[in-house]
Structure 1
Amino acid sequence: AASVLTITSISAKEPVAGLLLSNVMRPAVLGMTKTLSQELAPGIRFNAILPGWTATERVEHIFSYRAEQNGTDMETEAGQVTRNIPLGRFADPLEFGRVAAFLVSPAASYMTGAMIPVDGGIIRGLL
């Protein structure tokens, strides 16, 4: 079977302050992924990956903006987020990539409609 992987964000499960558009659009992508996983099975598998805070230029931009708004610095803003991540750090993009590679591989051939967080444990919800 073919495999499609959508990439959303932890904001699809728990809204992130200051990211209005992301908080609105990302759950819609999950709804689409789940619907297509049911309507196009068994020929195509659809899964979603929900990255948390990952060490990327986009995250640096977010912390730079927050620092400017709050009169702090990027390290302070990053520290406030890191405190809430049970694993105590941001993800390396390679860690995200490994999960993505698994989800589109034959090893995940019985997975469809799954929403997999790669978030260091920051999502507090059960589902």
Structure 2
Amino acid sequence: MGATELAGAAESLLLAQARLVAAALPAMRERGWGRILAIGSSGVTAPLPGLALSNAGRAALAGYLKTLAAETAADGVTVNLLLPGRIATDRVARLDAAKAEREGRTAEEVAAASRATIPAGRYGTTEEFGAVAAFLCGAPASYLTGTAVRCDGGLVRSL
């Protein structure tokens, strides 16, 4: 991993989101209400092996959002980070298939092994993930800011 690769990760995982926030935040503050919700990865709280660039970029995003939350809470703007675990999406299916190909197993064998590591015993659904996101963006979550919420079926064992 060189400086160029690290800069690319920072651009896509931190700076692009910071620019979006900078564009939207003034209007949120003016209204006295707003929701900033970024989607991260479970690698924020438990770095994933072999994903140094992703881990670094997402950790930087988490630090930025935590700081921003403290700076915007009095203006009625909440800032949170949603951390998905294994959600049943086309991307996860492709990752399972690629791992199966590398290891000479079937995609179902890989998926079953992955599900076995999740206390819930299954992948999450997009509907479940969406419901958590919708809650974080709604009025009932007005006192919830500066936090990283895991939607991972208990996968990450850290506190």
TM-score range, shorter chain: over 0.9
Distance 1:21 1:61, change over 3 A: farther
Q: 1:17 aligns with which of 44, 49, 63?
A: 49
Name the residue aligned to 1:90.
123
* Distance in 2 (alpha carbons) for counterparts of 1:9 and 1:77: 20
Name the residue aligned to 1:99.
132
Q: 1:32 aligns with which of 64, 68, 83?
A: 64
Alpha-carbon offset, residue 18 of structure 1:
4.0
- Identify which range, 19-28 or 71-80, moves more after superposition: 19-28
- The structure with higher relative contact order (CA 8 Å, sep 6+) is 1
* Distance in 1 (alpha carbons) for counterparts of 2:35 and 2:64: 15
Q: 1:116 aligns with which of 149, 152, 159?
A: 149
Q: 2:87 aligns with which of 36, 44, 54?
A: 54
* Distance in 1 (alpha carbons) for counterparts of 2:153 and 2:74: 31
Name the residue aligned to 2:17.
none
Residue type at the aligned position of 1:83: A
SS in structure 2 opposite 1:40? helix
Q: Deviations over 1:48-103 (max 9, x none)?
A: 11011000011011111111111111111111111111110000000000000000
- With normalisation by structure 1, the TM-score equals 0.92
Alpha-carbon offset, residue 40 of structure 1:
2.2
Alignment of 1:70 with 2:107, yes or no, is no
Q: Give the root-mean-square deviation of aligned CA atoms.
A: 1.2
Residue type at the aligned position of 2:72: L
* Distance in 1 (alpha carbons) for counterparts of 2:98 and 2:52: 15
SS in structure 1 opposite 2:158? coil
Residue type at the aligned position of 1:98: A
